[in-house]
Amino acid sequence: MIVDDHHLVAEGLRAMLSRQFDVVGMADSGRALRSLLHATEADCLLLDLAMPGTSGFELARQVRRLQASQAKPAVSGAPAPDGGSSSGAPV
């Protein structure tokens, strides 16, 4: 499952990953992800590091707490121009 607020990035990831994996869902926010997890099983979640509202790091924590999925979270994103991350988390 891919979670990214940038539609073009999410579609690019889906195109690349679907060559070797079944991409079972896509979401553009933490709220959309939580809804999908109740309806869809996923082995892995690819979470955008810096999304408005809830960061990929926070979503990973929430998924682990909810136990709604056995999916393993993975966080992606590019560092901000100042060398950190736009979420404030170290890169």
Q: Which residues pair with 27 in a beta bridge?
A: 3
pTM: 0.74
Check: CB of residue 91 under 8 Å from CB of residue 70.
Answer: no
Check: CB of residue 74 under 8 Å from CB of residue 46.
Answer: yes
Q: Calculate the alpha carbon distances from 17 to 13, 28, 66, 75, 86 in Å.
A: 6, 17, 26, 15, 25
Q: Which pLDDT tens digits describe the chain residue by residue (91 residues)?
A: 999 999 999 999 999 999 999 999 999 998 898 889 888 888 888 988 888 888 888 888 888 776 555 666 666 666 555 544 444 443 3
Angle at 55 between CA 22 and CA 37, to 5 degrees: 40
